[in-house]
Amino acid sequence: MTQTSVQTTHYVPADLPTSIRHFIGGKFVDSVGGETFDVLDPVSNQTYATAAAGQQADIDLAVAAAKNAFDNGPWPRMLPRARARVLHAIADAVEAQDARLAELETFDTGLPITQALGQAQRAAENFRFFADLIVAQADDTYKVPGRQINYVNRKPVGVAGLITPWNTPFMLESWKLAPALASGCTVVLKPAEFTPLSASLWAEILSTAGVPDGVFNLVNGIGEEAGDALVKHPDVPLISFTGETTTGQTIYRNCAANLKGMSMELGGKSPAVVFADADLDAAIDSTLFGVFSLNGERCTASSRILVERSIYDDFCARYAARAQAIVVGDPHDPKTEVGALVHPEHYAKVMSYVEIGKTEGRLLAGGGRPEGLTEGNYVSPTVFADVAPSARIFQEEIFGPVVAITPFDTDAEALALANGVKYGLAAYIWTTNLTRAHNFAQSVDAGMVWLNSHNVRDLRTPFGGVKASGLGHEGGYRSIDFYTDSQAVHITLAPVHTPRFGGN
């Protein structure tokens, strides 16, 4: 089916780096053994840079630098206000260069430029939020009158290993860097190998803002090499991971040997449930944005839409017409709504699901490469209706601009469909019936629920999934909890009545 609107230009930002290096102990360095990997841009699929491919030796150096900065440097010992000032300076720097950050991110990832700009601004907001949080932070104290005072002595855990995926990489890195640094940890970041460009920009931003050498370390590389070495390193007591569920399971096993702290933000197959009494115009806008924004490469994408049967035909027709009119093309064009998928390997995966979908559902829009876009990882926004819950496109995370629509007759059936997958990240409920909305929200298997809204998140709220979508919640003070140990200190206020062993 023909996409009605495509943008065929290909913008290349000025002054693109041709080599992307590690950043260890305050210096840009190559891999000890000189290993590199190619970095492609998703519009031409040509190599535009080589990146240092970290190995065990590089991780060892980065962890040693981070451990030295933690054990001997000022960062963990600074007053919260002093660290907060540095974090605000980072946010200022990100905001000041948001346009440049966005154009580099767009070039590397294929995300539409307007959305990459929003992600850069959100990255700045993450730093501001955690700067404010640590200054305002209170900890538990308990008094037992006349006998005891107990208080929590919050301590940064040490060297945090941060492993991030390629979707919205700069923003997701900020999501881990900001609370880890705010807490006083030092870090080793291993960004995704498909998209290393924006991660390398953190080095200068953080150093200029006043982060001491060795506090922030970056090692690029392949997951099974650099990522694996970081996960298994004995001097890294905690790992914050965002990525695929299967990778998370591997990391979980590998953390067991050292009993590391872990936070896992994993895959999703989130339902949007549209009841007949919903504001249909708003539901259509939101469910389109929910799955086609960020190219559908979004963990919280509403990639399954469950629609009450009495409005099903109308919903499908209107939804498909809008999907077909989505502007696909050059990610740098501000009119573009869906850009190019991140990498040819991922494009092949998404396209294979499009073909599977043609055997599992009724194709209403898209279904392949848009006409007129002969190169690059472009997929037309693709809509399948009448998708059975047993279908692979209903069950499996596609992570692209592909949506499955399924009808339901009763609230109970809608809930069973919503919960009938292994994932449990987000859910979006569309109804004007308040009682139904709250009851559904409380019964649905999802770490996060939006009622009559797409994904708009207050940074104070918990973020995370249940079932195969993750382990632990970050967000707000929970992130600080993850990067710190809450040591309990007990002080006696009165003579202690100790049983006198051996004192008969």
Q: So which residues are the catalytic ones? A: 265, 299
Cross-sheet strand order for the sheet of 22-24: 27-29, 22-24, 216-218, 186-190, 159-163, 238-242, 261-265, 470-471
Note the Cα 453 to chain centre separation in Å: 19
For 264-322, give the DSSP string: EE-----EEEE-TTS-HHHHHHHHHHHHHGGGG--TT---EEEEEHHHHHHHHHHHHHH
E strand or H helix at 349: helix 344-360
8 Å CB contact between 427 and 444 = yes
Amino acid identity at 289 = F
43 closest CA partner among 399, 402, 338 = 338
CB of 114 to ligand NAD, least distance (A): 20
In sequence order, the 6+-apart residues with CB closer than 8 A to the CB of 231 are 161, 163, 239, 251, 254, 255, 260
Each residue 465-494 as x (binds ligand NAD by CB under 6 A) or -, in order, gives x---xx------------------------
Dist. CA 396–CA 166, nearest whole Å: 19
- Judged by beta carbon, residue 167 or residue 479, the one nearer ligand NAD is 167
Closest among 263, 260, 266 to 63, alpha carbons compared: 260
How far, in whole angstroms, is CA 141 from its chain's centroid?
34
Instruction: Tell me the closest approach of the beta carbon of residue 199 to ligand NAD, in angstroms.
Output: 10
- Of 61-69, 184-192, 368-376, 479-487, the segment contacting ligand NAD by CB under 6 A is 184-192
What tokens appear for 331 in the block? Answer: 């990610």
- CA pair distance 383, 389, nearest whole angstrom: 16
- What element of type H or E holds 438? helix 434-443
Query: What are the strands of the beta sheet with 47-52, ordered from one edge?
Result: 19-20, 47-52, 36-40
Residues 87-116 that bind ligand NAD (CB under 6 A): none
Q: Which stretch binds ligand NAD (CB under 6 A): 8-16, 140-148, 187-195, 448-456?
A: 187-195
If the CB atoms of residues 168 and 431 are measured against ligand NAD, the closer one turns out to be: 168
How many residues line the site for ligand NAD (CB under 6 A)? 32
Closest to ligand NAD by CB, 287 or 300:
300
State the minimum distance, in angstroms, from the CB of residue 440 to ligand NAD: 22
First to last CA, the chain: 91
Shortest Cβ distance from residue 139 to ligand NAD (Å)? 27
- The interface with ligand NAD within residues 324-383 (CB under 6 A) comprises none
Look up tokens 């008969």; give the residue.
504
List the one residue from 119, 164, 174, 380 that touches ligand NAD (CB under 6 A). 164
In whole angstroms, the minimum distance from the beta carbon of 25 to ligand NAD comes to 21
> Which residues, numbered 195-254, are part of the site for ligand NAD (CB under 6 A)?
223-224, 227-228, 231, 242-244, 247, 250-251
> Of the candidates 167, 295, 303, 406, which one interacts with ligand NAD according to CB under 6 A?
167
Q: Does 192 sit near ligand NAD (CB under 6 A)?
A: yes
CB 271 within 8 A of CB 304: yes
Interacting span for ligand NAD (CB under 6 A) from 4-12, 19-27, 95-103, 265-273 = 265-273
User: Taking CB under 6 A as the rule, which mask of x and - marks residues 387-426 in contact with ligand NAD?
Assistant: ----------x-x-------------------------x-
Instruction: Give the one residue of 76, 118, 267, 376 binding ligand NAD; rule: CB under 6 A.
Output: 267
The three-point CA angle 431-433-434 to 5° equals 110
Length, in residues, of the chain:
504
- Are 195 and 342 in contact by the 8 Å Cβ rule? The answer is yes
Nearer to ligand NAD, 257 or 317 (CB): 257
Among 163, 187, 219, 446, indicate the residue that binds ligand NAD (CB under 6 A). Answer: 163
What x-and-dash track marks residues 282-311 binding ligand NAD by CB under 6 A? -----------------x------------
- Are residues 193 and 93 in contact, defined by beta-carbon separation less than 8 angstroms? no
Nearer to ligand NAD, 407 or 464 (CB): 464
Specify the residue, 163 or 387, whose C-beta has the smaller distance to ligand NAD: 163
What residue ranges bind ligand NAD (CB under 6 A)?
A: 163-167, 172, 190-193, 223-224, 227-228, 231, 242-244, 247, 250-251, 265-268, 299, 397, 399, 425, 465, 469-470
